[in-house]
Structures are given as structure tokens and as C-alpha cells.
Structure 1
Amino acid sequence: MILAEEHVMMKKVFRDFAESEFTKELQERLDSTGEFDWDIHKEMAKYGFMGARIPEEYGGQGGDTLTYVLMLEEFARVCPVLAIYPNTPNSLGGGPLMACGTEEQKKKYLPLIATGKKKLCFALTEPGAGSDASGTTTKAVEDGNDFIINGRKTFISGAPVSDYAIVYAKTDPSQKGNKGISMFIVDLKLPGVSFGKPERKMGINGYPTSDIVFDNVRVSKDDLLGPLHNGFTTAMKTLGIGRLGVSAQALGIAQGCLEMSIKHAKEREQFGRPLAKFQAISFMLADMATEIALARELIYNTAVEFDAGEDVAAKLSMCKYFATEMANRVAYKAVQIHGGYGYIKEYPVERMYRDARITTLYEGTSQIQQLVISRNLLK
């Protein structure tokens, strides 16, 4: 795809920011401590990245989906975990609000997350409901002007540092499967809300993940998001744009791995000549570059079609399936090209390799994407 001048300019802005602000010291600190960095969060908010897709009337930048994709690609090219920081408010966090929030809800919450003053997380997964999100057991019972929520959410990215959560709960137990589920905006400082210990993860350290437990949490009916008993449909639509975001993240990881591999292959010598002169190495680089180019075209075009109102449900899953599996193949080859150096933490490809692994898991595993694609083909 030939990018318009506007998108070329934005791509440069994102790349310049990542290369100047995502320092090696910051990345190493995030990976070793696993702690959220509020300083870089505030810096991203200052540049408007937290509200890249959020409409201007609600404090955002009003950017299109392609701009959002370019941002995540360029950020992940340097540091995958920091690409997640502005992703959530523009995707799983802000997405449900933009899709079906009332005007009052949009005015109340979107400006806060677009400007980085507050953080919002997406609470769908449960211990017994991962890929099968329709198996939700968290319940919300109507009580006067409120709902009382009881249940537990697990693997919630950003939970320990968030102010609010979009929570999915069963409101009509008589309806089976994915029916009878509603969405709520829950203030995580309400009585009865507690968090599990942050998980120790293989990668993307620096964006804490934990359980959220709801024990008789009283939520106002004003914070019911979207129609009663029909939250699952919105959840699936939100996951669609989220999958495109993960695809862009995977694309950035792969691009970063390729660039590091090219540099290493040119500089590292064996048997009296650079690695790049060996056909085995040069062919691996060729394979990596080809797969990245294919993923980029698919992702960019799907982003444009999404904004044009096309039915891209299957393509969103194709993007995530192909790009994330591709990123893992590319990261594997990057480590292989680096040899022993690729296994050492001092070299960024080691962290990229670990960070790439999550992309095939969260926001729908590769197997779930295959299921979505095949169902669209066979319906």
C-alpha cells in the first residue's frame, strides 16, 4: 500500500518518539521489575497517543484505524510492551465506550482515558472462560437502582494499575451460552473489589497482569454499558479491532527482529567473512522480509476497509493469525541468526523472542482465529 502523506508523517512521528523515548535502560528496567512506568505513560499521553482513535469531541485525536495500526507497529518495533500502553485506551478499553456508550458515559470517561488521567482495562476472561468467553460465570444481580456483581476475572492486562474496568457479567442466568451477558463500567476503587498478585510472565513485562475479584460490588445502573443482556455481541466486535492492534504489534516485533538481524549479519564474521555472505543466513533474511511484507499489506488494507464499513470479520482474524504466527517465526530466525548472542539478555532479540509469544495467545488464540475464518468460509 502506498501511504498518504498524512500517514507517512504520522509514521515518522511514531518512529521518532519510540527511538528517542524507549531507551534501552527503560526497556531493561521494565523487563526486570515488571512494573508499570508512569513517566512514559504520561509522556505518551502528552503527545496524544492515548487518544489516537478516540474522537476529538471526547478529548482524543480522532485518528483513523490505519494511524492506530502505524502507531502500534512503530512502537512495537522498538519495544513491544510499551506498544501496549496506548493500545488499551484505543482498543479494548475505550472500544466498548465508543461503540455503545451513552453520551453521558462518553463525556464522563473517554476524556479521562484519552488524556491519560485515568486507566481503563478490559475484564472478560475468567478461570474457566478463556477462549470460550461465553462460559462467563461472574454474575450481576439487579437490586433497586444498582447491580451487585460477584465473580472473578483472570489474566486482566493492566488491572493492578487501572482506575476502571469494562466488566462482563451474566445478568440473565436463564439464557444459555453467550446470551444474557451484560457490560458494566466498574470503578475499581469500589468496596468489594480486590486484585490478585501480579502474574510472573514470560514476556511483555512492564504491563502488570492480575486477577480482579468482585465481592458484592454495588454498581449503579448508570454504569450499565450498552443494552441489558446483550454485552457479548459488543465484546466480540471490540475484540475485532483489538485483534488488528495485536497484528500491528506482531508486525512491529517482526520488523524490529529483521532489522537487528540484518545489522548483526553484516557485522558478525565467521570463517573470515560476514554472516550475510552465507546463503543459509541470507535466505533466512529473505524469508523474514517476505513474510513481513505480506503481513503489512494485509493489515494496512484491512484497517482501511474497516473504516470504510466493509465486513472484515474474517480478515481481522486472518490478520491476527498470520501476523502473530509470522512474528514468532521471524523472532525464532532472528535468535538463530544471532547464534549464542541471541540467547543473551544483553541483546534485544532475546526479549523480542519472548514478547512475540503472547501475540498468538491473547485476544483470541491462533486456533480461535482459524475457527472464525473457517466459519466465515463455510457459513
Structure 2
Amino acid sequence: MTRHETTAAAIAPFGEDIQMIRAQLRRFIETEVKPKGESWEEKGMVPREVLRQMGALGVLGMRYDERYGGAGLDVMSSVMLAEEVGRSTYGGFSATVLVHTDMASPHLENAGTPEQKARWMPGITAGETITAVAVTEPGAGSDVAGMRTRAVQHGSDWVLNGTKMFITNGVHGDLYFVAAKTDPDAKGSRGITMFAIEKGTPGFSVGRALNKTGWLCSDTAELIFEDVRVPAENVLGEVNRGFYAVMKNFRNERIVLGAMACAEAQAAMDMTVDYVKQRRAFGGVLWNKQVVRQRLADCLTRIEAGRQLVYHAARLDAAGVECVREVSMVKAYCGELANSVLYDCVQFHGGMGYMRENPVERMSRDVRVQAIGGGATEVMLEEVAKRM
């Protein structure tokens, strides 16, 4: 553990139980993720066995009830998880895990009936049932109100038609939480309902696996729903109240994305500091150049500011305090921060920073989406502005 990590751990709002899980998870990532990540990038997916191992480790259900294999912990366990997977340097691995734990399955935790939870939650915490959330559409990214997917009631069932786009875990997932418009007369964001749809349901298919710039070991898909018949017992939460469920979960999603972004930036900067302390140029090591030291010191300062902003927003969320403004700040600031820091890290690696064999090159591609996914920077700043 670096001096910085020791200092941060001393003041971070993590309990002893979370710190113990962190130590186990870090060892797992060092031995089972980092040495194998490149092969996953080539295959375009994280092997299911790795997710099962993480389930056995107890990190896929830390926020959920012990009766389902969870640990009953609070939002800080999600922050810790995001930090540790972010440190792995493989953004696709991080996305695969965090979408399952903190972006998709919370819809079941927050709105599911006891019967629904008993049916699906044990598999979710064990890594046997991998989840995805399908809200985004080809013509409506951050604009949930522009949703075109429709569900019409037929007897006790619903028949769903539409297309979803950019869905993480979309190709290899097992259980999908899908948003659809159920009240055609409702304006804007009203009249949306969430449905739990299992892979293999007739009419539900993966249109195509998407070829991305980064996050290569995270599978991303277009999903197609053609007259998909969904039984009433698969409705998640209240009919026509799904928009509020989506907005509620955005808080958690944006906090963990901020924590992940800060951890990615920290990992890249640590590698860069090590590099410039060894790299010789113009008669000395790069570290001895004042401009290099100061740029890296500025990066560290901004990373620490982002990390503390994440902790602050997480504390507010844990206390039940309205924190849309702070969470929006987290998403906007940390997403841009990761991009800025990785730009500098590539720059200070020189030509090596542009080589595929260098982790910072891969990370610079991975972090670009941090300013887009989960709420684009501009959308997040508008949320802040509304509350000024």
C-alpha cells in the first residue's frame, strides 16, 4: 500500500468489515484479474467463472440481505468495490461488475417483491445470474423521457416492443431490468414501468454486440424486443412509476462511477510517477523537471478532491439526505477528471504512452466513456444548475 493509500484509508469512511473485504478483493484482483485481463480484452468478455469466484468472495451482494447471500452493508461498500475494480486498470472488467452490483440488480432490491427477490437474488449474489439494466435507446440516451419502447397490457400479461442500445452485460447477461412506456397518454417521463425479463424469453434477442473504443472486455449490446410477452409477476415495482425507480438508482450509479473514475486516475498516475522517476531525457530523469512534478502534483490534488466529493455524496445518500446536486457534481467532475489525468499520463509516457502494450494507453481509451455513460457531463451540470 502506498503512502497515499495509507493516508486515505485512515480517513476514509469505511468500517472494519469493509476494510477486511477490501483486502480480500485486492488480493483477488492482483492474482485473478490483472494477469488475465488482456486475454479478456481479446475475447470481449469477462469469464463467468470469474464472476462466480467474486460471488463466493462475497462482493457481489454486499448491499443485500443476508438471507440471499448478501452482507447487509451500506453505500460505502459499493464505493469500496468501485475503487478496487477501478484500480485493476481494466475498465471493461469494472463495468461488468459494477453494472451487475450497483446499476442493474438494485432495481430488484429497491422495488422487487419478496417472491421476486427469493426467485432471483440468490443467483445474483452468487454470480450465477448476471444482470443488466436496459433504459437507454438509440434515440434517447440521458433523455429517459424520450423513451419509445412500449408495453401494452394483454389480460394479466404485458406485450413489449422496442429496442435498447449500449446495454452493458447485454450479450452475456441472464436477467434484464427493462424500462418501457406503459401509459401512451402520459407526457414526458411519466407512464414508464420496469419489467424483469429473463434471457430466452420468446421475442427477446440480442440484435448485435457493439464494437467499442474501450471497455473491450465488457460486452455491450443492442437489444430487440418483438412482441415479448411478460407475465404480470415480472413487473418490477408500481406500474407507471418506473421513471422514479430509474432516477433513484441513478444516484447510486453515479456515485460508484465517480469512485471508479477516481481510482482509475489514481492507478494511472501511480504508474506515471514510477515511470518519470526512471525515464531519462535531456541529461536527467523526467521527475527532476519542475513542470513534470507540478503537473503530477496537480493531478494528485484533483484526484483527492474528486475522491472526497464521492465520499461526501455517499455519506449524504446513506443518511437519506436529498443529494441530486452533489451526486451530479460527482459524475460531472470525476468523469472529466479521469479523462484529464489520463491525458497527462499518456503525455508523460511519451511514445510509450501511445503503445498498446502500455496500460495507460488502454486506460486512456477506457476512461473516455466516463464523461458520457451514466449521465453525460453536460446533463449533470444542468442538474447542478437547476439547484443553484
Structure 2 CA distance, aligned partners of 1:2 and 1:161? Answer: 35
Q: Return the offset for 1:2.
A: 4.1
Which residue of structure 2 lines up, in the alignment, with residue 277 of structure 1?
288
Cα deviation 1:286-310 (Å, max 9, x = unaligned): 0110011101111112212211111
Which residue of structure 2 lines up, in the alignment, with residue 121 of structure 1?
132
Structure 1 CA distance, aligned partners of 2:99 and 2:165? Answer: 17
Which residue of structure 2 lines up, in the alignment, with residue 29 of structure 1?
39
Amino acid at match of 1:179: R
Which residue of structure 2 lines up, in the alignment, with residue 162 of structure 1?
173
SS at match of 1:336: helix
Where do 4+ consecutive residues of structure 1 move more than 3 Å? Answer: 1-11
- The reply on whether 1:241 has 2:252 as its aligned counterpart is yes
Amino acid at match of 2:51: H
Cα deviation 1:34-85 (Å, max 9, x = unaligned): 1332232222122112112222222212222112111111211122222223
TM-score (norm 1): 0.96
Cα deviation 1:72-123 (Å, max 9, x = unaligned): 1121112222222331232221111111111111111111111111111100
Amino acid at match of 2:192: I
Q: Is the 8 A contact 2:192 2:243 kept in 1?
A: yes
- The reply on whether 1:323 has 2:334 as its aligned counterpart is yes
Choose which of 22, 44, 61 in structure 2 pairs with 1:51. Answer: 61
Cα deviation 1:332-356 (Å, max 9, x = unaligned): 0000110000000111000110011
Report the number of matched residues: 376
Query: How high is the sequence identity, in percent, across the aligned residues?
Result: 34
SS at match of 1:345: coil
Alignment of 1:43-192 (within 5 A): 43-78=53-88, 79-192=90-203
More divergent stretch after superposition (326-335 vs 50-59): 50-59
Amino acid at match of 1:61: A
Structure 2 CA distance, aligned partners of 1:168 and 1:99? Answer: 15
User: What's the C-alpha RMSD, in Å, of the aligned pairs?
Assistant: 1.4
Structure 2 CA distance, aligned partners of 1:54 and 1:84? Answer: 20
Structure 1 CA distance, aligned partners of 2:230 and 2:281? Answer: 65
Structure 2 CA distance, aligned partners of 1:41 and 1:281? Answer: 40
Structure 2 stretches lacking a partner, 5+ long: 1-10
Structure 1 stretches lacking a partner, 5+ long: none
Q: Return the offset for 1:13.
A: 2.8
SS at match of 2:183: coil
Distance 1:14 1:55, change over 3 A: same
Cα deviation 1:248-287 (Å, max 9, x = unaligned): 1101110111100111011111123211111111011101
Amino acid at match of 1:375: K
Structure 2 CA distance, aligned partners of 1:133 and 1:72? Answer: 25
Q: Is the 8 A contact 2:258 2:331 kept in 1?
A: yes
Q: Return the offset for 1:11.
A: 3.2
Which residue of structure 2 lines up, in the alignment, with residue 39 of structure 1?
49
SS at match of 2:277: helix
Structure 2 CA distance, aligned partners of 1:36 and 1:306? Answer: 30
Structure 2 CA distance, aligned partners of 1:14 and 1:187? Answer: 29
Q: Return the offset for 1:153.
A: 0.7
Q: Is the 8 A contact 2:95 2:168 kept in 1?
A: no
Q: Return the offset for 1:239.
A: 1.3
